[in-house]
Chains A and B, each alone.
Chain A
């Protein structure tokens, strides 16, 4: 048997940074992901490397996430955050000392947070991007990028300048953070529209990913379906997502993370313990949040939960890794009989699913990688770049407009709850293009102003905010973020038109929304 498995972990969070507050609720997205996903992933890579286990996967690390991970303020705040959780853990160890079920769990979490603090401060010197880069240099992972602020690109296709600015700002950020030019590009939400490949090609990108039906419904019938890349007329290649391997991990009803022995995400001492005890560790003023200290197993669909037993859950990850490997091997056997080349099964996942929501997810990945190395039976882990080096003569065609969102197109990001944003964001893009036209070669203060204007437009294009408006629980914040960036842009636009620039205001906004330090407003030059 011969086949390939392409595991892609897409690591992304929107740019959230509020120096104007001492603590800010939504910054916890980053801190939780560092604690529960990124640091545990790096530890897992380290263990595999130490044990000389060969593994190979693709990681897209978004520019917004990279710039946040490289930010001094957020790094310091992460340290403060973990220190608070360590303090809580010490109290929890004391509080649960006589409880046979919860005492080991409190000790486990305390150990994890202490390990996180030690890794972050001592091992990585707060720079975990360099740690990912080191694993890339060693040949274990390939790091690719995604759109600058993770814009859902099909809804901006009438503005190639803006789409190009999303691509180029990402590549510049990738160069700054990783020192390389990415070969691959993760299209946010797998959002593809025909012609996008021209802009990707002009930035020297070799491949991207689409939803399965992007390949399936291409303008030419795909000979190998989603199990081989599709070469577009301009030479770029598109890799289609395999549905069954995604569902095995994601499905609410049948996915591995829903197994009853795994840790329940939604039972947390932030909600379970009395306010006077938990108050210092939740959000001010007295708003309960998840703390990360979770003592129950999923148990059943109802509210009645049994105490979580970590060792039982870890054994289950072995079983589930074995099952996943068995399913993929069967899949490859069936596919290879129908293909004249080894099938390539593409398995993309949001990285933050592992460790954060599916607490044992990283153990599952580690077990999977170890099992593939030991008994893969011809199933090999590779990246799309590896595949393109080994194989040519791809099936040809142009994929269809598609995304991996609900119903497969743009419905999640264009809906009654969020459609109002587009008239404003589009207008800001048009005005930004107009500003470049009017001020093509500025320097000094005016260049700073124009650069900030371009940052604000890019930030307003983020797909995260319409996504949260449609589906999430922090809708007021999402709406405010869109309004803030548009407001800042409009303020700059109007002041530039009147030739008045408030330096104090500009400096404040530059310090707050400091993403893309090397941005050049001319990215929005008219085509």
Chain B
């Protein structure tokens, strides 16, 4: 997006773009030339900030990958396709799905059949919905294998949630439940996920006689000399693993 391009846009488009960038624009702004210049300045600043954030929020592999889509500069409002494709808001069924994002976070989305939600809400002394997150000792979701669970209250209008998992390397599934004074109602149960360990497995036989050997072989830090300033270029995951497993990198 260039200043020249912004200057060609209508008042409505500029206001919409400014609001999309999180800028405050008065509803009845009387838009003289000075206002227009000011809004364009603010949009340019916001776009620059977005770009910096995008770069800072990605590792080098993703930044490199993103560059193959760089055919223009911040031109988000352009889309030649004029056809609108509508998707249903929901599928009128009762289900919950759990996706693993990383060793410590999962994402759940759900849907509740209209009649089911209505009948639940109409129950006397209905108190609300909540997610129950179970940790199991194996992939079999039976009572015998439950290690622990915790609840997360959600609202009727919610339909997804990021869940902080208590630890890596566990089996998890989620119930969507309703609560009233009479007790709890199970609406649906998710699939099971297994989060990764997030650290180096301990073998009975340890091949490594010296931590340096392990650093070299496992992490690719073959030219690491132990200086503190070198930590900046070591992937965070590798540092975490080495620090967590007390390999005292740099010492």
Contacts and interface: CB of A to CB of B under 8 A. Distances in A.
Interface of A: 13, 18, 21, 24-26, 28-29, 32-33, 154-155, 158, 194, 212-213, 216-227, 242-244, 246-247, 250-252, 254-255, 265-266, 271, 275, 283, 286-290, 327, 330-331, 334-335, 338-339, 349-350, 352-353, 356-357, 397, 400-402, 404-412, 414, 419-420, 422-424, 426-427, 467-468, 471-477, 480, 483-484, 486-487, 490
B85 A483 contact: yes
Nearest to A286: B8
Given A283-B72, A283-B78, A402-B196, A250 B64 contact: yes
B78 A221 contact: no
A335 B62 CA distance: 28
A33 B68 contact: yes
Interface stretch (B28-36, B130-138, B174-182, B234-242): B234-242
Nearest to B104: A409
A359 to B, nearest CB: 12
Contact of B59 (A224, A335, A406): A406
A357 B62 contact: no
A244 B220 contact: yes
Contacts of A353: 64, 67-68
Contacts of A32: 71
B109 A419 contact: yes
A247 B60 contact: yes
A473 B76 contact: yes
Contacts of B221: 244
B68 A408 contact: no
B207 interface: yes
B228 interface: no
B73 A400 contact: no
Contacts of A224: 217
Interface in B39-81: 54-55, 57-81
A217 B200 contact: yes
16 contacts: A18-B80, A25-B71, A216-B218, A223-B217, A225-B216, A244-B223, A255-B60, A265-B70, A334-B216, A401-B100, A410-B100, A467-B65, A474-B76, A476-B78, A480-B85, A484-B83
B219 A243 contact: yes
A356 B78 contact: no
B73 to A, nearest CB: 7
B80 A21 contact: yes
B58 to A, nearest CB: 5
B115 interface: no
Given A271-B2, A422-B109, A408 B237 contact: yes
B102 A158 contact: no
A298 to B, nearest CB: 14
Contacts of B149: none
B97 A471 contact: no
Interface majority SS (helix, strand, loop, mixed), chain B: loop
B4 interface: yes
Contacts of A409: 100-103, 196
B100 A154 contact: yes
B85 A487 contact: yes
A448 to B, nearest CB: 21
B199 interface: yes
B125 interface: no
A28 B219 CA distance: 38
Given A290-B71, A353-B64, 16 more contacts: A194-B194, A213-B235, A216-B200, A217-B197, A222-B217, A225-B217, A246-B60, A287-B5, A331-B223, A334-B223, A400-B198, A412-B58, A473-B72, A476-B76, A477-B81, A484-B81
A13 B68 contact: yes
B192 to A, nearest CB: 9
Contact of A25 (B76, B78, B102, B196): B78
B71 A26 contact: yes
B199 A217 contact: yes
A349 B76 CA distance: 27
Contacts of A350: 64-65, 68
Contact of B201 (A29, A221, A283, A331): A221
Contacts of A217: 196-201, 241
A295 B102 CA distance: 43
Contacts of B201: 217-221, 397
A188 to B, nearest CB: 11
Nearest to A413: B101
Contacts of A406: 57-59, 62
B99 interface: yes
